[in-house]
Amino acid sequence: MTEHHTPHEGTAPPRGLPPAAAVTDGGVPQTDRLRYLDVATRRIARGMDLDGTLRELRQAAVPAFADAVFIHLDDPLPVGTERPTAPLVLRLHSAERAEPPARHPDAAPEPRTAPRSATAQHPDAAAMAPLPDAAPRVEPAGGGRLAELLRDGRPAFGDAPGNAPAVAELLAAATGPAGALPPGHRLIIAPLHGSHHVLGAVVLLRSAHRPAFTGDDLLVASQLATHTALGVQKAVMYGHEASVADTLQHTMLPSSLPEPTGIRLASRYLPASKTAQVGGDWYDAIPLPGNRVALIVGDVMGHSMTSAAIMGQLRTIVQTLAGLDLPPNEVLHHLDEQAQRLGSDHIATCLYAIYDPIAHRLLMANAGHPPALLLHEDGRAEVLGIPPGAPIGVGGVVFESVEMAAPTGATLVLYTDGLVESRDTDIGSGLEALRDRLQSTAQGLGSLEVLCDHVLGTLGPGTRDDDIALLTARFEGFPADSVGYWFLAPHPMTAGQARRLTRRALRRWGLEALIEPTELMVSEIVTNAVRFASRPLSLRLLRTDVLRCEVTDDSPQVPRLRQAGLGDESGRGLHLVNQLALRWGATRVSSGKVVWFEQKIPSK
């Protein structure tokens, strides 16, 4: 039988809640309890995540309804309809003093903090053992009283007959191994039941100087636990979806950037605030034949797992199109066609650029994306005037490629709109601010990594409305004296001409030790090109940390390594290249193919 207490004389109801919030005795009108529950449950529903839900429960319950509240949650919390992989294990979060009591929605706003805690204690509560900073675990015995109470799902008095073992199990995590209830204290155990599983339990405790809980308080505790369980379940599902989408997006972004000769690259990805879902921002850098590199940044509109999935598909399509060595406008044209097949409601922006370190040129096309900036070596930041075009997925749009100089030492800055646009800043103002930031900080920021950090660091704290993808590329180019480039007519004497040109270049570079094997491999590749070419072919030698040779012709037929028969007159040239070269390969491009090989330059 539960002992009923009358309130102490002169006890005042707590601030910000109806009088029944603290004095839940038989003489209190039912409407006051309903008013309290209305304020408290709406407050609990305000929690946007797990910490927020538990914080709002603390502030609604302490001290208005109880002197302390302990919240035990299943560890790990189940997601959706999945069955827990282990028996119920409850974890008590770290302890902390209570924040100000819950206030009525019409009351003046009060300061908010966001501690990671699920235990609160009223300052006037009777002395208890110090609350733990650690997070002890409680594994209810399968046939014990605590497990029975949790399965039953209804709140129960902790001092009711037979409930002492359940109280001992739950309070052991907060008051020590004995798990004893301090003299004169009363408590309610309220299970947290989600849609499919038990999520944990709430323990509401009153000290001896306050009235004991009544039967009506069990109904109040039930409502508090029900709304808390809904909030916890919502937070778990939201967190799971956000985690999956975030993992999906990061998996689809490049784990590292290539390191092609003639250009330096650095990138950053900054997700939006925790209250937003993952977006579809992406960037990429793809090596192309001829030591060129494609630089891409894009943004799928929306924030969801769908946006991240569409982003992954578009990025894969771009990588495939880049392998065909198409000009930027053609890449965007085909990307637009493929995006429409994914669904008419999927819209994206994309900027595609190709840098040629030998010609020191940049070729770029834009599909509705914010313009790129070129930071010159003298610190001047230029907004590149590329026709913006329409977004990917609109259909029937003509994209335009624009070629421009790519000065040595200049830095190309590609980004998504989260860097320059927010609910408080339009894209024009944000772009101008970014240009000013780059100009004011370019001097002395030699490293691209430092430049990226500085650009993002100037955003300052606060909620970001959108994800940010940032890709920077510093043009270093190829020295003219490290390149040999010739056009050769396809006739029977071309192989001999190619050998002579190769010999002269290697002697000029002091690479006499490589003359014999290089001449042999050049002869084999050029001979093969002459067999199929209908127009002049090109021979290019590049001296970097390796010696690279490239032969380009207009035939799309790519040579493959194969086993030559005893009577075959051909088929052995690539075996020779495969044996002598450090690396070699053949790539089909829009104008034909490129066959290349590399050799290690001997140390002096």
Angle in degrees, 0-180, between the axes of helices 573-580 and 515-532, rounded to the nearest 10: 150
Residue pair 406/360 in contact (Cβ under 8 Å)? The answer is yes
Answer yes or no: is 2 within a domain: no
Query: What is the CATH classification number for the domain harbouring 545?
Result: 3.30.565.10
Residues 532 and 519 in one domain: yes
Q: What is the rounded average pLDDT for all residues in the chain? A: 77
Residues 321 and 386 in one domain: yes
Overall pTM surpassing 0.85 (yes/no): no
* Rounded CA separation 250/95 (Å): 35
Residue with tokens 């029900």: 226
Residue pair 524/574 in contact (Cβ under 8 Å)? The answer is yes
pLDDT of residue 429: 84
pLDDT of residue 311: 85
Residues 492 and 561 in one domain: yes
Query: What is the CATH classification number for the domain harbouring 440?
Result: 3.60.40.10
Give, for 337, the enclosing helix (H) or strand (E): helix 328-342
Answer yes or no: is 14 within a domain: no
246: which DSSP letter? H
Q: What is the pLDDT of residues 20-55, one digit of tens each?
A: 444 444 444 566 778 888 888 888 888 777 888 888
Domain final position from 453, 475, 497: 475
pLDDT of residue 396: 78
Residues 259 and 234 in one domain: no
Q: What is the pLDDT of residues 277-318, one digit of tens each?
A: 566 888 999 998 878 999 999 998 876 677 777 888 899 999
Residues 296 and 417 in one domain: yes
DSSP symbols for 454-507: HHHHTT-SS--SS-EEEEEEEE----GGGEEEEEE--STTHHHHHHHHHHHHHH
Residues 427 and 365 in one domain: yes
Answer yes or no: is 159 within a domain: yes
Domain final position from 242, 268, 293: 242
Query: What is the CATH classification number for the domain harbouring 51?
Result: 3.30.450.40
Residues 288 and 162 in one domain: no
pLDDT of residue 460: 53
Domain final position from 242, 267, 292: 242
Answer yes or no: is 282 within a domain: yes
From the number of C-beta atoms within 10 Å of its C-beta (0-12, 13-18, 19+), residue 222 rates as middle
Region of 291 (left: φ > 0; alpha: ψ -120 to 50; beta: rest) is: left
Answer yes or no: is 11 within a domain: no
* Rounded CA separation 301/359 (Å): 35
Residues 238 and 265 in one domain: no
Residues 460 and 347 in one domain: yes
Residues 385 and 470 in one domain: yes
Answer yes or no: is 6 within a domain: no
Residues 6+ apart with CB under 8 A from 597: 521, 525, 548, 549, 577, 580, 581, 582, 583, 584, 585
In degrees, rounded to 5, the angle at the alpha carbon of residue 431 between the alpha carbons of residues 427 and 434 is: 140
Answer yes or no: is 169 within a domain: yes
pLDDT of residue 169: 66
Residues 183 and 263 in one domain: no
Domain count, the chain: 3
* 250 SS3 class: helix
> How many CA atoms, within 13 angstroms, populate the side-chain half-sphere of residue 213?
29
Residues 392 and 503 in one domain: no
Average pLDDT per 10 consecutive residues for the chain, totaling 604 residues: 33 41 47 81 82 84 83 71 51 40 38 36 45 51 67 77 70 56 72 78 82 85 87 80 68 82 90 62 89 92 75 89 89 91 82 93 94 91 90 87 93 91 79 85 71 77 70 91 92 93 95 94 92 92 90 87 53 81 85 90 83
pLDDT of residue 539: 95
Answer yes or no: is 572 within a domain: yes
Q: Which domain holds residue 585?
A: 480-600
